[in-house]
Amino acid sequence: MADVVFITGATSGFGRAAARRFADAGWSLVITGRRADRLKALADELSAKVPVHYATLDVRNADEVKAVVAALPEGFKQVKCLLNNAGLALSPNPAQSVELEDWHTMIDTNVKGLVNVTHALLHTLIEVGAGASIINVGSIAGQWPYPGSHVYGGTKAFVKQFSYNLRCDLLGTGVRVTDLAPGIAETEFTLVRTKGDQAASDRLYRGTTALSAEDIAEQMFYIATLPDHICINRVEVMPTRQAWSAFAIDRD
């Protein structure tokens, strides 16, 4: 029986690229996301290669998550790898000018959504045991602050600490947990963050070489297919052309 990967946020970016990468290697796919048309198109594309089960899912809804997991068909129930990829950033403006609703959306998706899916699949992953993996998509924002990151950076710091603490609880089960923290990557991320401002997205990526969705998907696949006795706790991946900057100083 083929190994099964459960991917959240599979309708674009890292999630969609991961579905293609795992399919190329023969894994069975459970792909989830909020956009049904994109999910179906991806399932149609990949089902010629591997078994695919897809379900529309808003990870913020705990009952919906439980229902999707409970309804997994035979052949898809024994999830070996969970890719907690669903997440977003909003309002890259100073905190004092951001709507509270945007903060709540990031917390509900990046924190509660990740927790909902992890909790629903945890016992399954423990049953699979040695070689099972939870890969949580964090961000360099969880480690390095910058203007306009406010709640987004806070949620990704949660992802890092949740991953570390989960590792402690899962010691002895064989289940690995990794915080995969990308730097700048050219996906729909900035379009979502700026609520459709294509010019802002273009400015961010212009004149440099960002990571691609496929770059991160390759890291996901590598982590998930390491020998059973190896766990990478955290991977921070930046493009070569990105680095840290000096501290900001307010001057008279």
User: Encoding tokens for residue 185?
Assistant: 């990557």
A 10 A CB-CB count for 50 gives 18
* From 152, 164, 205, 222, the catalytic residue: 152
Q: What gap in Å lies between CA 246 and CA 242, rounded to an integer?
A: 13
- Helix, strand, coil distribution of the chain in percent, nearest 5: 45, 15, 40
- Contact between residue 60 and residue 108 where contact means Cβ atoms under 8 Å apart: yes
Got the DSSP string for 120-171?
HHHHHHHHH-TT-EEEEE--GGGTS--TT-HHHHHHHHHHHHHHHHHHHHTT
The verdict on whether 152 is a catalytic residue reads: yes
User: Encoding tokens for residue 1?
Assistant: 């029986």
Which residues are known catalytic residues? Answer: 152
